[in-house]
Structure 1
Amino acid sequence: MTTETLDPRSADADAPVAASARRKPRSFLAALLRSPSGLIGLVIVGLLVVCALTAPVIAPHDPLRMAAGPRLQPPTWDYWMGTDDFGRDVLSRILYGAQLTLQIGVIAVGISLTCGLLLGLVAGYSSGWTERVLMRLVDVLFSFTEIVIALACLAIFGVGLTNAMIAIGIASIPFYARVTHSVVLVEKGKPYFEAATAAGAGHLRLIFVHLLPNVVPTLIVVGTLGVSTAVLAAAGLSFLGLGAQPPEPEWGFMLSASRDLISRAPWMMIFPGLAIAVTVLGFNLLGDGVREALDPRQRQR
């Protein structure tokens, strides 16, 4: 039985590394809060999350209840955002719509980011015919706009909010695969990866220890910005009648339902439109802040 002695110098050398690892989340959060765009975006997204989580508590009425108030009631102290043509409280529907908005962003971006990461990572690492086949397939899909791919998916799956989220996620896969593939190619050309390869590191170690940690920060930024794109796409599909179906309180569907009443009840279109605009602005600002916080040059500056 052999005993292994610990070199005190190696322990001293590992201490700064461990301390640096502990400081990374703190330094990232500090850099995010120092960024004006990141701070504003974080506040907006935070308010959206709070509204979504507390909607059953703070909503004054059931969002699906008809005749909760007079039909087409303008904004008053009792109905802060007025009522729609069925007498439903617009404020309550906006608050509950925040839940659907977060669900759309998380599911759609989760599908596209996961599948795109897998495709781009496999294509970038494997090279050869595997890379050519996968990336040519991605190029074919990338030649179509995302809305065309989403419409084709809905033609196969059928209309509905769940199918719309899946369709939006599938439509964005080529973009995330392209981003991942580009980052993997850049990382493979760096000295640390060549040194790890020369040292005999296995495929799994090269992928999960050396490549993946360097790909994830870029995908975090792209995914944060992609939430706003997913929200807009879902609102557009619901506006066309292909996403949310009545009586779901989805903001895009609320815009569609108020088209014929814009002159009589403009508040029915103004408030859902403002909710979509503020949400998209919040995620875009948060994405910019995350990019600055993860960029070493911005952090040093």
Structure 2
Amino acid sequence: MRYLGPRLVTLLAVVAVIGLLPWLTRTDPALTILHARYADRPPTPAVLDAIRAETGLDGGPLRVLVDWAGGLLRGDLGESWVSGQPVGPDVTSALGVSLTLMGVSLAVALVLALALASPTLRRGARRELTTTRAGAGAAVLAALPEFLLAAVLATVLAVQLGWFPALGWGRAEQLVLPALAMGIPAGALLGRLLDDALPAALAEPWARAATAGGIPPRRIAAHALRRTLPTLLPQLGLIVVGLTGGAVAVETLYAVPGLGGTALAAALAQDLPVLQACVLLLLLLGLAAGLAARLGSLALLGPARSDRALPALTHPSLPVRRPVTVAAITLAALLAAAVVWGLLRDPLSVDAAARLAAPSAAHPLGTDSLGRDILARLGHGAARTVLTALAVGAVTLLLGLIVGALGAGALTETANALPAVLAGLVVAAIAGPGPLGAAVAVAAVAWAPLAAHTSALYAQEKAAPHLAAAVVLGAGRAHLLRRHLLPGVVPPVVRHAVLRVPAIALALASLGFLGLGTQPPAPEWGRMLSENMPYAERAPWAVLAPAAALAALGALAVLTSAAVRGRSHR
């Protein structure tokens, strides 16, 4: 109950925000309904008052929340503002589609994770413990957002090669590309985690004794997998939560009629009853996955969870190899050179005669559908995205330090379980699409890892012997905070925040891809990707150029993190 109580309160607060969306939005809900249903009727006060009375919006926010919550208890999700039809049947059908897609994506992730960890399993406990990694390729795949992989797969495998259909739902072959787009990053992440945990499990005394006793390697591998599950299941829950956020972009791109695509369409159309239902179901789906993972971990631990009979898996971290640092510096230099080159060109100049022109001396990366230079838009889009990511990173650092010091664990875990896309949908419904809304949405959830890091360091520093010695010597609270607590907590969290800036930039790009971030004609990498997708067959460079830039950003985040971590172990 101590675990569920605070988290239930936090969930109810999020549900209340969803229920109050009609009152939180900056536009008049009655005006939205009028434009959706009766486009030819003038927005007179009498007409708007009649719509408010018909929909219950005239009773104030408390009545709106109570009516919405009462409808939920009866299984009534309300009526669409656009179509006037009940929300329940359409959302229930979309939920079935999303569950099918997520189930197949999770199966792809598990197969890929086992494939990445298979070399370690085959090696078994017959050798000394060494650091075995799934590889830089898996690390980069794990860092790529689903919308980017979905765009590349659609461009190459569907449009250029014609192996799979690019759009639609209902046939088995239409499930392949969406499942791969969602499952590959999740499987790469899970594979890296599994490959990190298995060597430590196989080096424990029981594994060495089993090997010496002649037990078949397959049985040892099976027990090693079971040994790692208690620590991996919580991460698997977070991966499933990530699938709920990735489903929004993937379903939209492939025209899959699931909850994600339905929620995005409702947010852009200001159809708040449909958006409320979709976001609530996606949120409950993610929280249910996290709770199931926790319960599964406790069930696997059994009595060990109370008497701590099961030791934690430990794996010595070795210094990173020099090529990783060199690769990070080289990639950063290339990306910076391309950005500077693009900044010297005009991103808004339109040349109708050069529409969708192939790369040439005049346009090194080609042009888009309006004849605008892609290199110029990449450069200016990078400047916009990076500056926004730095600002969001500063805000999340401040929030993470404050919340982590206060020890709000339930709030931190709930925010950590919310994908930035879901926050973006809610913010877009309130403030409308735009760069500020996208920044607020990312900041609303990106502080959680920093808060968890701060909380752990804060508890560690409070228990340190030097702090107790300072108290005995008569040090006051201000001195303890300035001389002992802050120096031990702030520098590591700041380094963590800096490493998360590329991830924040990718999150902003994902919202731009969905149309919830920077609006045209301003250049932004995610927006460039979505704008040029309809022309992927005729001008694949228009899609692959921003895709390559985003992939380079993800790879740079992974390599930089590995290089910094390696230096810290020297």
Fold-level match, TM-score > 0.5?
yes
The match for 2:387 is 103
Change (3 A) 1:205 1:146: farther
Task: Identify which of 63, 76, 90 aligns with 2:347.
Answer: 63
The match for 1:148 is 422
> Is contact 2:341-2:376 (8 Å) kept?
no
Once the 2 structures are TM-superposed, how far is the Cα of residue 290 of structure 1 from its aligned partner? 1.9
The match for 1:40 is 327
The gaps in structure 1 that reach 5 residues or longer are 1-31, 124-130
User: Is 1:244 the equivalent of 2:518?
Assistant: yes
Q: What does 1:9-88 correspond to in 2, within 5 Å?
A: 35-49=322-336, 52=339, 55-57=342-344, 59=345, 62-67=346-351, 70-88=354-372
Once the 2 structures are TM-superposed, how far is the Cα of residue 48 of structure 1 from its aligned partner? 4.0
Once the 2 structures are TM-superposed, how far is the Cα of residue 214 of structure 1 from its aligned partner? 1.8
Q: Which amino acid aligns with 1:116?
A: G
The match for 2:91 is none
Matches of 2:399 and 2:513 in 1, distance apart?
Answer: 27
Change (3 A) 1:43 1:193: farther
The match for 1:197 is 471
Once the 2 structures are TM-superposed, how far is the Cα of residue 118 of structure 1 from its aligned partner? 1.7
Change (3 A) 1:165 1:92: same
Change (3 A) 1:81 1:56: closer
Task: Identify which of 539, 559, 562 aligns with 1:288.
Answer: 562
> Is contact 1:110-1:169 (8 Å) kept?
no
> Is contact 1:44-1:278 (8 Å) kept?
yes
Change (3 A) 1:211 1:192: same
> Is contact 2:397-2:494 (8 Å) kept?
no
Matches of 1:235 and 1:147 in 2, distance apart?
Answer: 11
Q: Kindly name which structure, 1 or 2, has the bigger radius of gyration based on alpha carbons.
A: 2
Once the 2 structures are TM-superposed, how far is the Cα of residue 95 of structure 1 from its aligned partner? 1.4
TM-score normalised by structure 2 residue count: 0.41
Once the 2 structures are TM-superposed, how far is the Cα of residue 174 of structure 1 from its aligned partner? 2.0
* 3-state SS of paired residue (1:258): helix
Matches of 2:353 and 2:376 in 1, distance apart?
Answer: 12
Change (3 A) 1:53 1:191: farther
* 3-state SS of paired residue (2:424): helix
* 3-state SS of paired residue (1:114): helix
User: Is 1:181 the equivalent of 2:455?
Assistant: yes
Matches of 2:392 and 2:536 in 1, distance apart?
Answer: 31
Q: Which amino acid aligns with 1:239?
A: F
> Is contact 2:420-2:441 (8 Å) kept?
no
> Is contact 1:224-1:286 (8 Å) kept?
no
Report the number of matched residues: 252
> Is contact 2:358-2:367 (8 Å) kept?
yes
The match for 2:546 is 272
Matches of 1:155 and 1:218 in 2, distance apart?
Answer: 36
Listed one character per residue, the Cα deviations across residues 146-199 of structure 1 (whole Å, up to 9, x for unaligned) are 332333233333211232122211211222111110111112212112212222
Listed one character per residue, the Cα deviations across residues 108-161 of structure 1 (whole Å, up to 9, x for unaligned) are 21111111112212x2xxxxxxx4xx3333333334333323332333332112
TM-score normalised by structure 1 residue count: 0.76
Q: Which amino acid aligns with 1:36?
A: P
Matches of 1:152 and 1:224 in 2, distance apart?
Answer: 27
Matches of 1:54 and 1:196 in 2, distance apart?
Answer: 55
The gaps in structure 2 that reach 5 residues or longer are 1-318
> Is contact 1:111-1:170 (8 Å) kept?
no
Once the 2 structures are TM-superposed, how far is the Cα of residue 86 of structure 1 from its aligned partner? 0.4
Q: Which amino acid aligns with 2:461?
A: E
The match for 1:92 is 376
Matches of 1:35 and 1:211 in 2, distance apart?
Answer: 34
* 3-state SS of paired residue (2:354): coil
Matches of 1:211 and 1:68 in 2, distance apart?
Answer: 61
> Is contact 2:513-2:529 (8 Å) kept?
yes
The match for 1:170 is 444
> Is contact 2:418-2:445 (8 Å) kept?
no
